[in-house]
Amino acid sequence: MPDIRSQYTDSLHFYGKHSPHDLAAMFGTPLYIYNESILRRACREMKGLSSHPGFGVNYSVKANANPALLRIMREEGLVVDAMSPGELFMNKLAGFTAAEILYISNNNSQAELQNALDNGLLVSVDSISQLESLGRINSGGKVMVRLNPGIGAGHHAKVITGGKDTKFGIDPNMLSVIFSLLEKYKMTLAGVNQHIGSLFMEPTGYLEAARILLGMIASFPSQVLHKLEVIDLGGGFGIPYRKYDGEARLDMVLLGTSLHELVSSWAKQHGYTGRFLVEPGRYVVAECGILLGSVYAVKNNGSRRYVGTDVGLNVLMRPAMYDSFHDIEIYRGAEALNTTEPLPQTIVGNICESGDILAKDRMLPEIHEGDILGILDAGAYGFSMASTYNQRLRPAEVLIGCDGSARLIRHREKLEDLAACLEV
């Protein structure tokens, strides 16, 4: 169906047998919609980065934890991380077994570490004190350590997780302390991991960090090196959010070729037969998700045109938190196909915060009350960061299957859910 601004989703048949209007009418808005074919394609692209035996994709569940999506990833051969008992719970609901889950977390209580061990997971620690805590309850067992390679990358200071200015990872200068604690608790170092940050569009920094990590591992005493089972190089692979500006994609061929060469030659040189993992969150799920919202009010305050929607910062936090850009489509249906030249419009939500802005002075055809908006690339860190701020309910989630049909995979919260934990 022709629409005001929908070329991108039209070209992908994103909504399958449906139109955004049908879906909004069937399930209400705000509504997260995921496309199964696009999800599967992203999984395969990630897995295709290297054909090295033992190369695998460890999906980082924090980007989106809906078990319906996790089940598809499992079918595609991905494994998952968990960083909290809640993520572990979701992974298990989706059918992942202990061998398919790595516990990659930080600053955990003894009880949380114990819970991960009780579930049979390999646990990554990212500080000396957590290594001690784990040692006390897992003497003779296995452990993984998260090292900080000293460099970081990311779209915003809040998502850079490598280098001196972050809380993450163990300083490699502490390696000797790590080895003596392993000795003290008779623990085996089964894995090493890192994550330098989220959203890079050039492969260089990631490859450099991978080289640094592999260099550090190569310096481990050989009895330690030979017991390593997994080396996890982290995530951060970016997607182009500026779809309508033709933003270039991350060059996965270049990245894959270099990564494959790096890991296979390193493995050969060091006689390493264990696994190499990459740990993407965003790349796997961002582009398969679109958030539909309704326009309920339009007004001018001074010279600025405001478009009032039901997509508050409680539903999609990224623009308010990081000034993130999400492209926006406008669906009006067949009746009123009157488009104007783009004009600046500020699209806002229904939350009582002046920072509740989805897009500021965005050049778009004039948006009208009654329009449906499609917020693109909302599959990663969309629903997973949603909240009930202002006691608004978290949205429903729908999956468009490979056959084009729509299936509810999470219903909209109900008012009673707001009272679920109250002691009254």
Name 162's bridge partners. Answer: none
* Half-sphere exposure of residue 47: CA atoms within 13 angstroms, side-chain side: 14
CB neighbour list of residue 402: distance below 8 Å, 6 or more residues apart: 36, 37, 40
CB neighbour list of residue 295: distance below 8 Å, 6 or more residues apart: 307, 308, 309, 367, 368, 369, 370, 371, 372, 373
CB of 14 to ligand LLP, least distance (A): 21
Closer by beta carbon to ligand LLP, 80 or else 187: 80
CB of 283 to ligand LLP, least distance (A): 6
Q: Which of 62, 74, 243, 326 is the binder for ligand LLP (CB under 6 A)?
A: 62
| 159 lies in the binding site for ligand LLP (CB under 6 A) | yes
Contact 239, 38 (CB under 8 A): no
Segment interacting with ligand LLP, rule: CB under 6 A, options 234-242, 297-305, 329-337, 412-420: 234-242
Segment interacting with ligand LLP, rule: CB under 6 A, options 2-10, 16-24, 273-281, 344-352: 273-281
Q: Which of 281, 293, 319, 349 is the binder for ligand LLP (CB under 6 A)?
A: 281
CB of 424 to ligand LLP, least distance (A): 34
Buried b (16+ CB within 10 A) or exposed e, 281-299: bbbbbbbbbbbbbbbeebe
Contact 123, 143 (CB under 8 A): yes
Contact 48, 28 (CB under 8 A): no
Closer by beta carbon to ligand LLP, 87 or else 371: 87
Phi-psi domain of 154 (left: phi exceeds 0; alpha: psi -120 through 50; beta: other):
left
**Mask for 320-349, x = binds ligand LLP (CB under 6 A):** --x---------------------------
Q: What is the CA radius of gyration of the chain?
A: 23
Q: What is the distance between the alpha carbons of residues 409 and 64, in angstroms, rounded to a whole number?
A: 13
* Alpha-helical segments (H) within 376-422: 415-418
Closer by beta carbon to ligand LLP, 6 or else 148: 148
Asked about 421 being catalytic, the answer comes back as no
Q: Which of 5, 18, 21, 318 is the binder for ligand LLP (CB under 6 A)?
A: 318
| 67 lies in the binding site for ligand LLP (CB under 6 A) | no
Closer by beta carbon to ligand LLP, 247 or else 366: 247
Q: Which of 52, 282, 362, 392 is the binder for ligand LLP (CB under 6 A)?
A: 282
Q: Which of 169, 191, 280, 374 is the binder for ligand LLP (CB under 6 A)?
A: 280
Name 49's bridge partners. Answer: none
Which residues of the chain form contacts with ligand LLP (CB under 6 A)? 60, 62-63, 104, 159, 161, 195, 198-199, 234-237, 279-283, 318, 322, 381
